Structure 1
Amino acid sequence: MDCHRAETYVLRELREHLSPTLHYHGLHHTLDVVAQAQLLAEGEGITDLEDLALLRTAAHYHDAGFLTTYQGHEAAGCELARRVLPGMDYSPAQIELICSLIMATRLPQSPGDLLLAKILCDADLDYLGRSEDFWPISHTLRTELEAHGSVVDDQTWNEGQVKFLSAHHYWTATATARGEANKQARLAEVRALLR
């Protein structure tokens, strides 16, 4: 596996070709997910170098489908991975694992029993349990959704936030320990806005 080449390729594509309307799902989000996946893998005791490399590749490619589509971007990301990763010495089994990790992040998330998928799912929504940047990041998501035709008033947006935060749960013990208390605090803040 030439992980460096695979990462360099997708980062260049994201940097040069992502729509500027992706205020939330931009390159910054991908880089954040990569960083959070590494921290969560460490917390979960993942030490196998191949597993770590495949998780890292999946994190880099998990939203690459936004290069070609907004709806169904996970499947489009898998198409990209299946197209380019064989040329970077990834085996068919490695590519399918990467795609299963990417598809697990589709909402509602469904990682099954695969720990690497649970880690990627938690990394993808890590901001929900962060006190320092939950509000700015949620604002970028609202701005992006509005840019793609989902204009909602404050009441409807906050009701949606309450529903999403209430339904969300972490898949790993590490993410739960890091983020659950902060997420509950953010949920209380959004509920307060609705009063």
Structure 2
Amino acid sequence: MNLDKPYSAASERNRDPILVVLREAFAGCRDVLEIGSGTGQHAVHFAAALPALRWQCSDRAENLAGIRAWLAEAALPNTPPPLQLDVATGVWPPAQSFDAVFSANTLHIMSWSEVRQMFAGIAQVLRPGATLAIYGPFNIDGQFTSASNAAFDRSLRAAVPHRGIRDAAEVDALATLHGFDIVADHALPANNRCRLWRRGRVG
């Protein structure tokens, strides 16, 4: 094992519950873009378990070396080199389209403006009928779903004021604006959710 690789204990804990959802949600898909691949741990786990998928990692420049380390050690045939992608720039992979997008624990660390930019960018690269899966904590009807999520939100905002747990209805409204319809909402361990949208009309 490469001891210089970045490591997330949370990714190890949540990867199998997420995989249960993705195995069904991405059935029939071929090209997945992961936004905010972080350490790269999710990518190698999901790509190994779902070999029919081409799993395309992406993240900001400072995270790419760690992702490359995970991909190199796994040496899977369905994980191309990671792409540099910062949703705040509005620059998305040129001349590429995907039939699925996955992102984990990203919405609450972005500003709301960046969340809006992310959905606009996703609409540019997802084909009609494609699936969008986002994992992480969500508020429901403006309320925290647990005391631990409320405490987590306070810590996020104390560190960086523009961060915070997003409300599911507000994210759904943003998705609808770009042509996505909510199709499933899976409650997962540790007060997280995996929410799924499908792209219908061109947004």
- Pick the structure with more strand per residue: 2
Same fold (TM over 0.5): no
Q: Under a length normalisation based on structure 2, what TM-score does the superposition of the two structures give?
A: 0.39
Q: Under a length normalisation based on structure 1, what TM-score does the superposition of the two structures give?
A: 0.40
Which structure would you say has the larger RCO, counting Cα contacts within 8 Å and 6 or more residues apart? 1
- Larger gyration radius, structure 1 or structure 2: 1
